[in-house]
Structure 1
């Protein structure tokens, strides 16, 4: 799998550049393909040579070539982070599963940023991801010959969707329905890998999100009624499940016996 790291990292840079457009336009209900990218201040169209991931931002010193307006450092950060995530996917999952988990990493970056910006997880991204991710996981099962993994994915995705739906009903306003829909996606992907990644990823979201909430409360940056986007913590928990879910779950079971 090490042979895939560099190509996937390069692909991640390109995908990350597109994700910047997605994060900006999808919440506003705008097309992600038209019109071409422009400077929001002067309206100048971004030249192709000024749209090279990370490198162009560095060459331009973080400013628009035409009007000198500062370009947010989040743009190259998203591109670099997506490249790192794609490289990690190449190292952590088998070759047949790479398309599914690279796709999940890509939409995860977009959804996390949109949720932080708007406290929303747009249906325009989440709902089409069900058939896309389902097809990619089916491809992975076909390639590995492990059809039980696909059945496990269906069970895991359904179970986590139902669990989040129950939480949503139990405490209205405490969890959005966007989180419920995202739970089905993450549960399916994690369960495809195994019940260890599923358990660690599912519980990891609440542990990480809870710790963050405690820090905000202790430092006075949030009160008991403050709304904290949970989508990013669900995605971080899922990443934890993919990366170390199996050994962590094995260690936990070892303590029990």
Structure 2
């Protein structure tokens, strides 16, 4: 059952990834994601349904516009593939449960926000802020389906705690990160808290670990300096998604290191 669901999630991920390409391009510009229909930026040829099939159309067109042969960025199929791969992974981790829609939604906004933050060094409110009520509703449905209302309480506590942590960091060191990171922290805290306390701890710590490693790589590669602004959102999102998989084994390892037998 989970295998079939994973395949279906992969197909859904390709379709969602195609839409996310529009989101990544238009939302930072304050444009509608539904109007006007997608078109070539050079010849303004409207993209027909046959040329808008995720991944397949790009391959058949050899990465070029049908009208003017303008190259189509390889990032479009890569985002579609990445979204599909993450959808499959999350489905295999979460399984056929009421929690799956919530974490697929998290995966979708993670891809969009990471790409936008890399492009414009900003996490747009039109994506982040609506994610609070959406997360609350989806996680409430997950708790209802699982019959575990304590998980929803953890989600609320996790959201408040991670938001407060990031807000405190901004107060202590202004400019170290943006308010967009603070807003995103609350959303991620809800998802991590619902998953478990270990996921919340690993996800919170992992963001700074990945950010430190990424920053060091950029500095050593001479791609960044002390004053270079490095987007932190992608590291927060990557750590949150990764914690769904690695939080339990990391928590077990740490407890064994302390000589404490893990429970559950």
Q: How does 1:12-91 map onto structure 2 within 5 Å?
A: 12-91=13-92
Shift of residue 69, structure 1, vs aligned partner: 0.2
Instruction: Give, in angstroms, the shift of residue 240 of structure 1.
Output: 1.4
Q: Give, in angstroms, the shift of residue 3 of structure 1.
A: 2.5
Equivalent residue in structure 1 for 2:136, among 124, 134, 137: 134
Separation (CA, whole Å) in 1 of partners of 2:7 and 2:67:
33
Quick one: distance in 2 between partners of 1:195 and 1:2? 28
Of 240-249 and 135-144, more deviation after overlay is shown by 240-249
Between the aligned partners of 2:21 and 2:165, the Cα distance in structure 1 is: 32
What is the match of residue 223 of structure 1?
A: 225
Deviations 1:123-143 (A, max 9, x none): 000000100111000000000
Which residue of 2 is the match for residue 161 of structure 1? 163
**SS in structure 2 opposite 1:5?**
helix
Provide the C-alpha distance between the structure 2 equivalents of 1:50 and 1:90, rounded to a whole number of angstroms.
28
For residue 252 of structure 1, report the CA deviation from its aligned partner. Answer: 1.2
- C-alpha deviation, 1:225, in angstroms: 1.2
Q: For 2:118 and 2:27, how far apart are their aligned partners in 1? A: 14
Distance 2:81 2:223 in 1: 29
Equivalent position of 2:5 in the other structure: 4
Q: Partner of 2:99: helix, strand, or coil? A: helix
Q: Which residue of 1 aligns with 2:262?
A: none
C-alpha deviation, 1:146, in angstroms: 0.6
CA-based RMSD of the aligned residues comes to 0.8
Looking at structure 2, the residues matched to 32 and 218 of structure 1 have their Cα atoms a distance apart, in angstroms, of 38
Q: Give SS of 1:226's match.
A: coil
Structure 1: which 5+ residue stretches go unaligned? none
Q: Which runs of 5+ in 2 are unaligned?
A: 260-264
Alpha carbons 1:196, 1:250 under 8 Å: kept: no
CA contact (8 A) 1:199 1:249 kept: no
**Which residue matches 2:202?**
200
Using structure 1 for the length normalisation, give the TM-score: 0.98
Tell me the secondary structure at the aligned position of residue 96 of structure 1.
coil
Match of 1:96 in 2: 98
**Hey, what does 1:112 align to over in structure 2?**
114
Q: Secondary structure at the match of 2:98?
A: helix
The Cα shift of 1:2 comes to 2.1
Q: Is the 8 A contact 1:114 1:121 kept in 2?
A: yes
Q: Displacement, 1:111?
A: 0.3
Relative to the length of structure 2, the TM-score reads 0.96
**Separation in 1, partners of 2:84, 2:16:** 8
Look up the match of 1:124.
Answer: 126
* Separation in structure 1 between the aligned mates of residue 115 and residue 146 of structure 2, nearest angstrom: 33
- Asked whether the equivalents of residues 57 and 76 of structure 1 are also in contact (C-alpha less than 8 Å), the reply is yes
Q: Which whole-Å deviations, capped at 9, do the CAs of 1:152-207 have from their partners, x for residues lacking one?
A: 00001100000000001111111100000000011110110101111111111100
